[in-house]
Amino acid sequence: MSELVLHPTRLHMRKHGFRIVKPSAPLVRYWWGRVSRELWDGNLPQPTKISIRPDRKHWAWVAIYNDRPGEFDLEMDDYPLVKKRFIEVLTHESVHAHLWVAHGDNRTVHGPAFMQFRHRIKRTYGLKLGKDVNV
C-alpha cells in the first residue's frame, strides 16, 4: 500500500488554513506558484495579469483570449477570506488555466474535462474540486 504524502501546501492549510487573508497580487503569485509546482509539475505559468477588485458574485475567474494562446489573466474578488478557501479558489482556477495552457481548450467550463482533476486535487490537497466556488 502506498504511503500518503502530505504536500507542503496541505500541511500549511492544516496549521494556518483558518487565518484570514486579504487577496493581493503578490499573495496570488506566491500561492499560484506553489499550486503550479505541486499540482502541475511547475508547468502552469503565472497569469499575465492579476486584478484584485470588488466582485461579490465570484471569488475569482480566469480570463482567456483566443488571440493569446497559452496566456491568461486572473481576476479575484478583494474580499478577505480564510487561507484554506483562498487556496481552494486558486486551485479551482488553476484547473481552468491548465485546460487552456496545456490543451488550448477555451471551453473551460465545469464539464468532464474539468472534473477529471478532482481526484488529483483531493489526493494532493484534501480539497474537493467543485463546479462552483461562487460567494
Residue 109 CA to residue 47 CA, distance in Å, equals: 18
Residue among 22, 77, 89 nearest 50 (CA):
77
DSSP 47-110: PSEEEEE--TTBSEEEEE-TTSTT-EEEEEE---EEHHHHHHHHHHHHHHHHHHHHH--S--SS
42-65 pLDDT tens trace: 999 999 999 999 987 889 999 988
At residue 51, the pLDDT reads 96
Residues of the chain with pLDDT under 50: 1-3, 134-135
Phi, psi torsion values for 62, nearest 5 degrees:
-95, 130
At residue 135, the pLDDT reads 42
Choices 3.30.300, 3.30.1380, 3.40.50, 3.30.2010: CATH for 8-125: 3.30.2010
